[in-house]
Structure 1
Amino acid sequence: MLSSKSNEKHFFGFVLIYSRNAIGVRSGLSDVANNKNILASKIGRPRPAKLDVDSPPSQKNTSFSINGSPNSADSKPVVSRRSAKISTTPDKYSRLLKGSELQVQLSSVQEDLKKAKEQIAFQEIERANVLEELSDAKKAVVEVSEKLGEALLALKKVEESSELEKFHAEELKQAAIEAARKREEKWHKELDDISNQHAVDVSALLSATQELQRVKQVLVMTTDAKNSALKEADETMRIAEINAEKVEILSGEIDRLKSVLESQLESKSNETAQVIKKLGSEAEALKLELSRVKVAEEKLVEMEALVEGLKTELADAKKAESDAVGFVDEWKKKTQLLESCLEEVQQSERLLQDSLASLTKQLRERHSMLNNAESEVFCLKGKIEVLEVEVERHKADLEESDHQLELAKQEVRDVEKTVEVLKSEIGRADEMKAQTLNNERLRSSNLESLTHINNKLEIELGITREDSEKSRKAMEGLASALHEVSMEARDLQERLLIKQAEVESTTGQLDRVQSALKITQETFEVRLDEAKYEIVCLKKSIEKSETEAKNLRAQWDAKEINLRTAIKKADEEIASMKLERHQAMEKLETENFDAKAAVEEANKLHDKIRQAESELIEANNVIEKEKEESKCLKERLLDKENELQRITQENYELRARETASSEKIKELSESLAKVSTKKIEENGDASQNTEYGLNGLLSNNGNEHTIMHKMIVVMDDKVDETETENSEAPSEEAWEMIKDDRKLDENGAEGHPVQIEPKICEDGGETSDNKMLSESTENELKPKIDDGKLDQLNGRFAQNGKTSEIKHQLPQKKKKALLNKFGDLLKKTTSK
């Protein structure tokens, strides 16, 4: 009994396992039946070697997933039908045959086993395909990830290259800026050096020019002194000639006056002979004249001594003149030498001015070159600024590209995250597939166990036939167990459907990921193309900037070479200019030494010239004075000799007549006393104005004889003063006489002579006594006027230091007019 119970328990366990397997096999067979088209399509289609990343996802997987879902949906009514059949079989087994049904079940189980084997093979094929597809997907994902890595590497390389290019461009820019700054500093230093050298040269040239100007001024001063000395000598000679001419003119006038006076004296001598016969009043005047003659004789002796001294002085003056002429010749020679030195200095100055002009031209050219270089520097600075602007723009573009790259990196990171999520889901799917494979392996093991059980069942069929009656009761439990198993199978099938849906969703997600990867790849390719284009543009711009930098460098190098050559030329020219300046300084030093020596000689010569000029002036003054004095003395000597002869004759005549006229003198003296008292009473006012000379003579119409007498007395006194003073300045009264003569010049043509003549006519009817008196006064007036006026004229021209002033103050015309009018007055007085 115990063995039977244990067998029953084993049997029911095997039946439960078999029923479960059968239900699973039937569901699998239904799936196989519904999926025959899928098997044919999948067996008939070629296996894909590799999935193309750029190609769109294949629709065979989607068709598998799409076909799988309705088959799974159709498999549900089959299970329900089987469940309905299984639910109806216990009643039939209970009513009808149990063994036939078992045989049918065994046959159906065998068929189901075959179908399950076929389905297992098909699932293995599908699993292999799925694994291949998964491996292809993994390969595609790996390729995509590799391409993404390559893209990232390319982006990194692009970023690194762009950064390197930026850094290189910045380094080039900084190097160019530093080079430009250094060159500018060098140029500024060179400009400062050149400007300093120019300032030093200019200062040296200014000092040289100042020294030359000083030497020139000294030479000009020497030439001016020489010219002034020559002019003064010429002026002295000219003044001497003019004075000689004036002396000749005056001598001519004096000769004319002498002739006039001689004629007048002859007429007067005749008249005096007649008057002396008539009047005895001449005795007193003759006595006075005798005393004066004695004084004149004494003076004549003195004048003869003076004339001898003047002759010796004239000889000395002639010697001094000859010495002065020799000094003048020597000075002329020295001036000629100085003029030759001046010409040489002027030539050296011209050469220096030419060198200065060339230096100024060269400095202007260098200044223009420097201005051009500065303008080019400014242009290069502008180009550098433009390049900086372009670099900044490229930097902005690079920053934008960096920003876009960062966005692309962020998208790649998002895609990587999604890929990682998909990889995790694929791993989960792999795990689920591994679980399904494990389940399949369990199923295969179960199938093997079922085959083993089937063999056992075939062995135990006999036992089961025997125990069929016992199994009826067990079938009911089996039905319930089958129902439970079917419920579990349904649950399993639903789980499978869920897993298939998950697999389909994963495949859809994979397709989406692939499409997103394609889109991102396309966008990345577009961005990579744009980045490549920008990189190409940047490369072109950098090449352009490099070419421009090279051109600028070439220009800078050419300019540097030009500047260096110009600087070398300038240095050479400066060295040559320094040598020339040194030579010029040496020449200037020698010339300065010569000029100093010449200046010293010129000063000495100037002093000698001054001494010679002073000596010449003194000699000329002495000569002029001596000439004038000699002329005056000669004239005086002649006059005095004539007067002496005349006076001696008159004295002889007067001595002869004194005895005869002594009686008449007493009578005439009485009559003269009476007439003089009358005239003094009538013309008392006229006697007060005797100080004014000729003005009183012309203003007092009725007292001409007395005024003339007093004027002659004043003139005699002045002549005596001039003779005693020996060539002193003319007195105030003489100057008043000259002023009166000028007034006579102005008013000589008016009514004064007319007034004199009527007076003479009016007085014509006077008594014989008055006539006698007038004749006596006229006789007295002749020698007095002659002696006084001539002495006064000689005193005017025989002054020591004021001959030139008097000659300048009294021109020749006025002197001639004065002399003419004085002669007219004398004629009028004689005509009375």
Structure 2
Amino acid sequence: MASKIKSGASETTLSKSSPGSLRVPKLSRVMTRSEPNSPSPTQHSRLDRSSANSKPSTEKRSPKVPTPPEKTQTRAVKASESQPRLIQIKEDLRKANELIASLENEKAKTLEELKQLRKDAEEASEKLEEALKAHKKAEEDFEISKFEAVEAGIEAVQRKEEEMKKEIENVKKQHASEASSALLSATRELERVSQELAAANDAKSKVQSEAHDATKMAAIHAEKVEILSSELIRLKALLDSTREKETISNKEIASKLGAEIVVLKRELENARGFEAKVNELESVIERLKEELQSVKTAETYAQSSAEEWRNKAEELEEQLEEGEEVKRSALVSLVSMTKQLEESNGRLQDMESEVSDLKEKIRLLETVVARKKEDLEESEERLSVAEEELSKAEKVAVRLKNELETAKEEKSQALKKERDAAASSVQVLLEEKNKLLSEVERSREEEEKSKKAMESLASALHEVSCEARELRDLKLVMKATSEKYENMLEEARQEIDVLVNAVEQTKKEFESSVVDWETREAGLVSHVKKFDEEVSSMGKEMIRLGNLVKRTKEEADAAWKKESEMRDGLKEVEDEVVYLQETLREERAERLKLNEKMLDKETEFQSVVRENDLLRVKQEGSLKRIDELEEALAKKDRGEVSESEKEYDLLPNVVEFSEENGHRSGAEEKKDDSRVEVEFKMWESCEIEKKEAFHKGKEDPKEEVEDEREKTSPENLKERREEQVVNEEKEKKIKKKTLFGKVGNLLKKKGPPVNQR
């Protein structure tokens, strides 16, 4: 029977000490101990030897106890302590992954926002270029239209002058025959008025063209102002939406962090509860130890075996103490690692806060740039009002635009550098993420191993409970019979062998676990070193970003200075614009005065025209009267000639009659004398009127000759002068003949009474 027991023990030891993974002996041990009801050769021997107490002997016979209860308890404690640490490590890894994902999302958002801002800046620059092109086109169109308007005004003035000249020539031709002094003065006044009207029309056309051009420019500038104001409103709405999105994202991140903090607090509470449970389990284990000690003290009849058991138990306790010290060192290392992880998390949070501060600074700089753009647009709008007179301000605006373009280029270069740095940091974070994922997979595998170990430990605890029951049964059996005591001694020896093997296996497992812990610690140390290196690299990047921020601040200060200069220039421009507005008001007032003068001149011209019409009517009436008088004089001349002939014929008769009848009355003679005197006065008045008409007719050809001198060549003028001189001499001779004839007739008429007297 002893040989059978030894062979079974050797088989169990061989099955437990087979080479391979640590999982195999545990499984074999569980499989060998999972069948308590299966009969063994020791149980058969017990049935043969003791027939009376067969049931308790069968219940007692369980030589499958490979490990002592203390070791199983220590393993359970190790597993129970390792699980919350693994859970904490997993949670830390999950938090790190979430932080990495949030950082990546924030970087993606910032990149998208930067892209959108670039697009907006490009659109604004394109719109500025389009506005400048439109402004240039408007200037060219304005110059062309102004030139065309000037040409059209000149042509209109020339046409008006030609029409006025034609009208004046027609008036001169119409009044050449009349040749009155009133008409001459009227024509002179008309010429003067026409000249004033032409000058007034020129000024009016110029003022109207300038006013029309000014209204066009004002309408164009108003449209530009409306377009730019709409664009500014749209950009402000975009900035407000981006700010709202940023605030919402910050609030969401804060809420997420608060939820994570609450979850961590709950997990800490759970860990504390788990620690309380572990303490309870330790108290239970201590109770079990006390029970074992009581069992050992009760076994006084087996002092030798008890002493051996005690020695072995002391050795195992020393080993357990060593294991506990190792565990404590591992706990200390884990605590240090957790502290380092917390410090690294704090550094990450600090880095995130610094990155957020940098983002805010970048946003502020972008807002400053946007304000500068708005100020530049306003300055361009104001400069466009007085571009012709403010070429210097345009040069300054062009210089500022060039500087803004350089600033934009520098900003784009800085953004490219930041993008490259962000891309490199993202790659590093992705590599770290992959490493962390691999570590998580390893921890999962280790967790599975620990779960299997826990299952084996549970089975071992079950076996320990069974062994306790068997020990109680053994006490009864040892008291009952000495044979059972011998069998128990043999079983104890076999169990001692098994325990020795189990102790060796536990030593090996402990060494392997120590190696694993050392490798993990080395990996964690390397990871921490890498993390520190990354943190240092991030610190360097932060320093570089700080330098960039300083540079941008300096550039912003320079831009502010330039902006102040621009504002001073704009103030000067505004002053000049105010001056121009005052001049425009003065010109408008002058234009109103000119319009009033024009109205006055038009009224004067109309009055002059009316006077001319009245003078024409009067002249026509006077001419008609002169014609009637000339006809009457001609008739009278004809009648007088006939009467004078008759008188000449009747002279001798009259003389005779007077001689014969010389007693004529004085009254009749007086009547005849008065009649002759009246006729002589009428003749003199007619002659005076004829002379005046003749002189006026002589003056009118002179004026016509003067007008023709202005229009004809000197050769034609000489010929016309000779013809006019010849005609005037002929007319003078004819008129002299007529006058002398009439005077002779009158003298003939008056001659007889004088002779009579």
Query: Which of the five TM-score ranges fits, normalised by the shorter chain?
Result: 0.3 to 0.5
TM-score by length of 2: 0.41
Structure-1-length-normalised TM-score? 0.38
Q: Which has the higher contact order (CA 8 A, sep 6+)?
A: 2
CA radius of gyration, larger in:
1
